[in-house]
Structure 1
Amino acid sequence: MRTLLAVALLLGSTSAFAATQCTTADKSTWQDPDKFQAQLKEQGYKINKFKVTKGNCYEIYGFDKDGRKVEIYHDPVSGKAVKTEIED
């Protein structure tokens, strides 16, 4: 019974920490990271940190044009925002 409970808790906790998945496309089809960041900066974003996630996203931490703190996951192929978190 304890083993069953432990397995259930483990399975439940792993789904809670599932990474945002942006694409399964080959990396050769991804936008150039430097050009992508330059486009965002032209739109008024200030990027403090940029990384590629385990879920194949371009993730930025920084500020939008209104000065709000943001964390945004982008599809690296289309550039479209997949998940956005804004702090007011």
Structure 2
Amino acid sequence: MKENQRVNGGTATTVVSTQIVVSIIIAGKPDNVYGAHKVGMAHQLDLVRNAIKGKKSPTNHVWRFMVEAPAVLNNDVVLWVQRWSTACNV
């Protein structure tokens, strides 16, 4: 929201913004329980990171990578969470 205000004969613009945080969950099947899945998952995580990195939101703000961490690991499924943030004018 932009508001024009008269300040000492001039005009000042006030812009109110907020931060949007998005979590992306990437699921994969591990090759074994000893960590061999990390190579395949690392590639998948890179693909997602590269697809978003440098892109802009509809409000023309750049998406920023925040963090990446495993969410759940068991013998059947490994889940990773990536968090991204961008600004948004309200």
TM-score in same-fold range (> 0.5): no
Comparing both structures, which one devotes a greater share of its residues to strand?
2
Q: Determine which structure has more spread, i.e. the larger CA radius of gyration.
A: 2
TM-score of the superposition, structure 1-length normalised?
0.32
Greater RCO (Cα-Cα under 8 Å, separation 6 or more): 2
